[in-house]
Amino acid sequence: PLVLGIETSCDETGVGIVRGRELLANVISSSMEEHARYGGVVPEVAARAHLEAIEPALRQALETAGIGFGDLDALAVTAGPGLAGALMVGVGAAKGLATATGLPLYGVNHLVGHVGADLLRPPGEEPSPPLDEPTIALLVSGGHTSLLLVRDLVTDVELLGETIDDAAGEAFDKVARILGLPYPGGPEIDRAAVGGDPAAIRFPRGLTQQKDLDRHRYDFSFSGLKTAVARWVERARDEGRPVPVADVAAGFREAVAEVLLTKAVAACVDSGVPRLLLGGGVVANARVRALAEERCAAAGIALRVPPLSLCTDNGAMIAAVGAGLVTAGRPPSGLSFGADSTLPVTDVAVR
């Protein structure tokens, strides 16, 4: 099926078009730069930027795919989770389009969209092999850190655990700020860590001690780590020592990567599912990727990492899930659903 997907859950306005698993267009307009001086996404600024970007993005996507609205079989839009005001712009636009065109509309879960990204490949690349279900999925972005058991992408997704405070990407952004590096902090820390010694400073690994594992086996916590980095840097400055930025960045990055992969591999082993799929912007992290390869190889787990261009927020991944819903014969969501900033991941599509 030919499906157009709209994504506005955070700071990327995305419009993607897919034919089944074939990617025809993926237009992304980001308001990231407007948030840079605040050190994080400002919801009102993001919503306003979506409003300005959505119409041109729709046009450009249709033009790139060489189609008109009349050619489409369905529309899909991120219904949640995400920033309420930002989501509302996408949901409103999608409902308007559905009303005007009569096309069926699917309100799609953003996190499931990140998993669905792996169904697609950029134009010119080999198509990805079909998603091998069940699979464990680790989603790590600026707003989420979640471990999922995906039995069936469009019907059966279970949340195994998630962060109880900061998301991994958020921690990267905050630590970058502590070190005086610009926003977004992930790529900056990655660069700064090159040449640093990851073992020079040992930062805490949240929720990995035996006493935490009973209740939080698959949950994450990064705010303690962030505070530990802040204290360490503060002390060095107080004592008039130069801050070894490369070592701090490398030690911090190591702590994050280790926790992520330890928990993800444990989820694979515990549930007897030897497959791990990564998603979200933090997957761009060089150490996270390297450790994922290392740990999965050691544990006999098949690792799948979507192309980086599809790991961050985009409309094509939402369209891909929409296409999956159409193919599975799922009923559309209708027009009465609203943006749901806390939509649980078990709701692949809203009703």
Give the interface segment with ligand ATP, choosing from 155-163, 186-194, 202-210, 232-240 (CB under 6 A).
186-194
144 binds ligand ATP (CB under 6 A): yes
- CB under 8 Å to 275, separation ≥6 — which residues? 132, 134, 135, 136, 268, 301, 302, 304
Q: Which of 11, 173, 188, 313 binds Fe ion (CB under 5 A)?
A: 313
Are the beta carbons of 27 and 344 closer than 8 angstroms? no
Token pair in block for residue 341: 């900033």
Nearer to Mg ion, 10 or 345 (CB): 10
| In the complex, least distance from residue 13 CB atom to ligand ATP, rounded to whole angstroms | 11
**x/- contact string, 278-307, with ligand ATP (CB under 6 A)?**
--xxx-xx----------------------
Record the tokens describing residue 149, joined without a space: 């058991």
Strands 12-19 vs 2-7: parallel, antiparallel or unpaired: antiparallel
Q: Please identify, among the stretches 17-25, 84-92, 164-172, 295-303, the one whose residues bind ligand ATP according to the rule CB under 6 A.
A: 164-172
Q: Which does 186 bind (CB under 5 to 8 A by kind): Mg ion, ligand ATP, Fe ion, none?
A: ligand ATP
Q: Using the minimum distance from each CB to ligand ATP, give the nearer residue, 185 or 324.
A: 185
Q: Which CB atom, from 104 or from 184, has the smaller least distance to Fe ion? A: 184
Tell me which of ligand ATP, Fe ion, Mg ion, none is bound by residue 213, counting a contact when its beta carbon lies within the kind-specific cut-off of 5 to 8 angstroms.
none
Rounded Cα gap, residues 5 and 145, in angstroms: 23
**Which pair of structure tokens corresponds to residue 227?**
């505070």
Q: Least distance (Å) from ligand ATP to the CB of residue 333?
A: 20
Residue ranges of the binding site for Fe cation: 110, 114, 313
Three-class secondary structure of residue 77 per DSSP: strand
Sheet holding 12-19, edge to edge: 22-30, 12-19, 2-7, 74-80, 105-109
By CB under 5 A, is residue 13 in contact with Fe ion? no
5 binds ligand ATP (CB under 6 A): no
Under the binding rule (CB under 6 A), the answer on residue 277 touching ligand ATP is no
Question: Do 347 and 338 touch, CB atoms closer than 8 A?
Answer: no
Q: Which is nearer to Fe ion, 249 or 320 (CB)?
A: 320
Using CB under 5 A as the binding rule, the residues of this chain from 291 to 320 that contact Mg ion are 313
**Contacts of residue 5, Cβ cutoff 8 Å, sequence gap at least 6:** 14, 15, 16, 17, 18, 75, 76, 77, 108, 113, 315, 316, 317, 318, 319, 320, 321, 322
Helix (H) or strand (E) holding 276: strand 275-279
Nearer to ligand ATP, 161 or 281 (CB): 281
x/- map, 102-121, Fe ion, by CB under 5 A: --------------------
Residue 213 burial (C-beta neighbours within 10 Å; 0-12, 13-18, 19+): middle
Under rule CB under 6 A, how many of the chain's residues touch ligand ATP?
A: 24
What end-to-end distance do the CA atoms of the chain give, in Å? 20
Q: Which is nearer to ligand ATP, 104 or 143 (CB)?
A: 143
d(CA 190, CA 200): 16
Which residues make up the interface to ligand ATP (CB under 6 A)?
9-11, 82, 141-144, 169-170, 172-173, 184-187, 190, 280-282, 284-285, 312-313
Which residues make up the interface to Mg ion (CB under 5 A)?
10-12, 313
